[in-house]
Amino acid sequence: QQPVQSPQAVILREGEDAVINCSSSKALYSVHWYRQKHGEAPVFLMILLKGGEQKGHDKISASFNEKKQQSSLYLTASQLSYSGTYFCGTEGEGTGGFKTIFGAGTRLFVKA
Amino acid sequence: NAGVTQTPKFRVLKTGQSMTLLCAQDMNHEYMYWYRQDPGMGLRLIHYSVGEGTTAKGEVPDGYNVSRLKKQNFLLGLESAAPSQTSVYFCASSYSGVLFFGSGTQLSVL
């Protein structure tokens, strides 16, 4: 079952912050975040394992609340290069950690 | 080091024709995947493999078959193509849960 992402799309000005949410109806083993630029393949950003950890990557960070089966991606002081579609991918408990199911994506556009 | 390579990059088929998409990875990864991407629906898992000689169904397996005869290759077959299979197909391999994607195949079925 696909995780649900919100919002579907967001437009930012350079320097603004954004939050993208991902929720699942199933208990999760891990949450992944990927970014895809137009016409290209998705690229890995980060993975969060069960345990409620928060990770950061430059000015992009994420949290994972396993009790609520939710994850959020935080983009701080957005740059033009952040534009693209962000996908969360989830692995349910008991799947062995190798079957990632993706949400429908959040389109992010950063303008100057 | 090429990573994940997909062939062909583009293909146009007529309804009822068959074809095979080839995915090759040179990272010695055990796990490989086929996803399809359609507007507004994200990436949907078609089939996957957890090792040479193994395959398993994903979310949308109907109309597709796969084979993993060699560890480095994962083939996706369409026996009788339908317009609903028009999509962009991505192959991926994974290590420690991280997916490495190929550049994709744009398939149109007329």
* Residue A111 to residue A104: CA distance in whole angstroms: 23
Model pLDDT, residue B24: 97
Tokens of B7: 């062939």
Please indicate if any CB of chain B lies within 8 Å of the CB of A90: no
Angle ∠(B75,B77,B81) on CA atoms, nearest 5: 155
Report whether pLDDT(B100) > 70: yes
B43, B50, B58: residue with CB nearest A87: B43
Q: Do B45 and A101 touch (CB under 8 A)?
A: yes
Beta-carbon separation of A99 and B101 below 8 A: no
Residue A11 C-alpha, separation from nearest chain B C-alpha, in angstroms? 17
Which among A60, A53, A50 has a CA at the least distance from the CA of A110? A60
pLDDT of A49 strictly over 80: yes
Q: How confident is the model at residue B61 (pLDDT cuts 50, 70, 90)?
A: very high
Residues B56/B48, Cβ–Cβ less than 8 Å:
yes
- B101 CB within 8 Å of a chain A CB: yes
C-alpha span between B108 and B89 (Å, rounded):
11
- pLDDT at residue A66 in the model: 85
Say if A54 is an interface residue toward chain B (CB within 8 Å). Answer: no
Query: Which among B24, B45, B28, B27 is positioned nearest to B36, based on CA atoms?
Result: B45
Predicted confidence (pLDDT) at residue B97 exceeds the cutoff of 90: no
Q: Could you give the count of Cα atoms lying within 13 Å of A13 in the half-sphere of its Cβ? A: 0
Give chain B positions within 8 Å (CB) of A97.
97
In the structure encoding, which two tokens stand for residue A17, read together? Answer: 């912050």
The number of residues in chain A equals 112
State yes or no: pLDDT of B6 exceeds 80: yes
Does the beta-carbon distance from A101 to B59 stay under 8 Å? yes
Instruction: Indicate the DSSP class of residue A84.
Output: E
Contacts of B90 in chain A (CB under 8 A): 41-42
Chain B contact present for A112, CB below 8 A: no
pLDDT above 80 (res A56)? no
Chain B nearest C-alpha distance from A16 (Å): 25
Name the pLDDT band for A96 (thresholds 50, 70, 90): low
CA–CA min distance B9, chain A (Å): 12
